Amino acid sequence: MTVETSWIVRIGYYDDGTNYTTTDFTDRTLGFSIAQATDLAVMGTSSARITLDNSDGELTPQAGGTYSSTQWFKYALEIRCQIDYGAGLATSANVFAGIIDSFDLADDGISSTVTIGAVDVFQTASRQQVETLGFPATVAPSPHEAIELLADPSFSLNNTVMPNFGETANPDGNLTVTSLSPAKTRQVLLQAAAVSQAPVGDYIANNVMTCGLTAAWPGGFDPLTAHTEIFVVENAQRSNPTTFEFAENALGTELPFRALKRSYQLDQLTTASRITRRFTGYVKTSETAQSTYGSRLREYVTASHSDSDTDEDAANWTLRFANPRYATTSLQVTASMVKERASDSHATAWADLLSVENGIWAGASVEFTPAGRPGAITDYALVVGRTITATPSDTTVTLALRPSIDYGTFTLDSAALGIIGINRLG
């Protein structure tokens, strides 16, 4: 048997205010691209563009077709994968969800296509300020819960409004903030006056994400409730992370790959960090390796609740990123490669790789043989982003990878993140 990959493209809305319904646009879809990325201390992003066949003119605005009067910019775009394998077996995964933010029609009178763009709801809904009324000084137990308090409309402390896709019961929308880490690592101090000085998205990006080694990315979706999801990893450590094994001659659950790129990674090179703790003015500076690389300063403000946490954050940057590493930065894997070269045992790993929840901030081992060397070597990496491009003939996934020694934290029972001498204990 072989592993078959197919896609489901849907646009959804609470048409009657109570029941979330979707229209399947899979048959019209000529292709799509998805870009998803995150990094330490930043809020990640997720976006997609789909191209639809409009040869029947049904999508043309004001032309009398089925969708000619559709108000596209209030709708959710969902993209899911389905992986069929074995004797009638299948698995599926959420790959992207967002709110439509562009609609482009190409029509030469003979053929016609529509390209619809969408972004994660956090990009569109995080520009408003949080009113200070009813928002006391609050200590959130973790960055995850700080994001939840500020961005989830169900919390009474904020007035944040997310796209609700027409749900009458939740006029301010819904957002689920999911922690993927095993323990709380940083308390975050939220004060009303400071929170009200900037849009909620800016405040989270500039004050909360800088607490600890935090990474977060949106783009998840619960199709039953139409709640969008943001996933949060603290201390650069996931609970039970998926580990993808890539090999030149893939066996068992290993995945094949192509277009391997390795380089020195300089984007995060940090020889000095200066962190100011909001509210107190406390400043912590950490320096190392400046005589070698000069001053590569990382400076920001944090809402950490203690001076000791601020000290640890400053030290973490110079401990982890004081030396550039030569390592795998990207690779590609395609649906046709998985179909041709992989067995049914690869189906779950392939679905996890496509999943927005499991395929990002996951461990990866990459085995390859450099030219002129007698044997294979293995790079241990962390997946921090990916682009997915799909056409009727194939799907290509390009992974962005970073060294696990810098971006990950030691995780028991993980093939890529639980290696003594390779992965950090803190």
C-alpha torsion angle, residues 404, 405, 411, 415 (rounded to 10):
60
Q: Note whether 279 and 302 are same-domain residues.
A: yes
pLDDT at residue number 131? 57
Q: Note whether 331 and 316 are same-domain residues.
A: no
Name the residue range of residue 206's domain. 125-217
Structure tokens at 196: 């009200």
Look at residue 231 and tell me if it is in a domain.
no
For residue 220, the one-letter residue type is G
Q: Note whether 249 and 350 are same-domain residues.
A: yes
Q: Note whether 251 and 350 are same-domain residues.
A: yes
Contacts of 212 (CB under 8 A, 6+ apart): 143, 185, 186, 234, 235, 304, 309, 313
Q: Note whether 278 and 260 are same-domain residues.
A: no
Phi-psi region of 164 (alpha: psi -120 to 50; beta: other; left: phi over 0): alpha
3-state secondary structure 84-125: EECCCEEEEEEEEEEEEEEEEEEECCCCEEEEEEEECHHHHH
Q: How many domains does the chain have?
A: 3
Q: Note whether 280 and 251 are same-domain residues.
A: no
Q: Of 157, 403, 126, nearest to 262 (Cα)?
A: 403
Q: Note whether 176 and 296 are same-domain residues.
A: no
Q: Note whether 331 and 381 are same-domain residues.
A: yes
Distance of CA 98 to the CA centre of its chain: 12
Helix (H) or strand (E) holding 202: helix 200-203
Q: Note whether 369 and 251 are same-domain residues.
A: yes
pLDDT tens series, the chain, 426 aa: 689 999 999 999 888 888 888 999 999 999 999 999 999 998 999 999 999 999 999 999 999 999 999 999 999 999 999 999 988 899 999 999 999 999 999 999 899 999 999 999 888 766 666 655 456 678 889 999 999 888 888 876 667 778 888 888 888 777 889 999 987 778 998 876 666 666 778 888 888 998 988 999 998 887 777 788 999 999 888 887 889 999 988 887 889 999 999 999 888 888 899 999 987 888 888 888 888 888 889 888 888 888 999 899 888 888 889 889 999 999 999 999 999 887 787 888 999 999 999 999 999 999 999 988 888 999 999 999 999 999 999 999 999 999 998 888 744 444 554 454 555 544
Q: Note whether 399 and 316 are same-domain residues.
A: no
Look at residue 252 and tell me if it is in a domain.
yes
Look at residue 305 and tell me if it is in a domain.
yes
pTM: 0.91
Look at residue 389 and tell me if it is in a domain.
yes
Look at residue 137 and tell me if it is in a domain.
yes
Look at residue 86 and tell me if it is in a domain.
no
Residue whose token pair is 């085995």: 367
Q: Note whether 256 and 190 are same-domain residues.
A: no
Q: Of 135, 196, 132, 127, nearest to 162 (Cα)?
A: 127
For residue 115, the one-letter residue type is T
Distance of CA 409 to the CA centre of its chain: 18
Look at residue 310 and tell me if it is in a domain.
yes
* Count of alpha carbons within 13 angstroms of residue 381, beta-carbon side: 30
Q: Note whether 148 and 207 are same-domain residues.
A: yes
Look at residue 130 and tell me if it is in a domain.
yes
